[in-house]
């Protein structure tokens, strides 16, 4: 692994709930957001001042709410970071919504977040 502080970290974690639990596909709990949030916590704890985490992932939108965005915002604040967040594609992998794990999900959005450690 890499030791010391990081100037930049890039992450494209899996974000789909996979009943088979395949590492390359299963994003874990929170409708597939768990792995992205775990990666954010791990990376933000190692960013140098001015360092950035660039995250490209998916977010399950439930009752019109982007829970990944809310959770990342809280994590960023707790780590002394600012966050820019953008929805890139509002509705990806609609066929996944037919699975029971997504019964309460409106849609799956593709998102990008840039979290920057305050100087």
Phi/psi for 39 (5° steps) reads: -65, -40
Handedness of CA 77, 80, 84, 89 (dihedral sign): negative
pLDDT band at 101 (very low <50, low <70, confident <90, very high): very high
Domain locations in the chain?
A: 6-117
The answer to pTM > 0.75 is: yes
Strands 81-89 and 65-66: unpaired
List of residues 6+ apart from 93 with CB closer than 8 A: 16, 58, 108
30, pLDDT greater than 80: yes
């Amino acid at each position: 692994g890499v030791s010391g502080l990081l100037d930049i970290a890039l992450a494209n974690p899996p974000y789909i709930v996979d009943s088979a639990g395949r590492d390359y596909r299963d994003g874990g709990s929170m409708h597939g957001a768990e792995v992205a949030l775990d990666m954010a916590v791990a990376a933000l704890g190692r960013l140098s001042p001015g360092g950035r985490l660039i995250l490209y992932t998916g977010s399950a939108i439930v009752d019109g709410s982007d829970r990944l965005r809310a959770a990342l915002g809280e994590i960023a604040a707790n780590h002394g970071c600012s966050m820019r967040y953008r929805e890139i594609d509002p509705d990806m992998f609609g066929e996944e919504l037919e699975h029971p794990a997504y019964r309460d999900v409106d849609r799956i959005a593709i998102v990008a977040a840039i979290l920057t450690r305050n100087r």
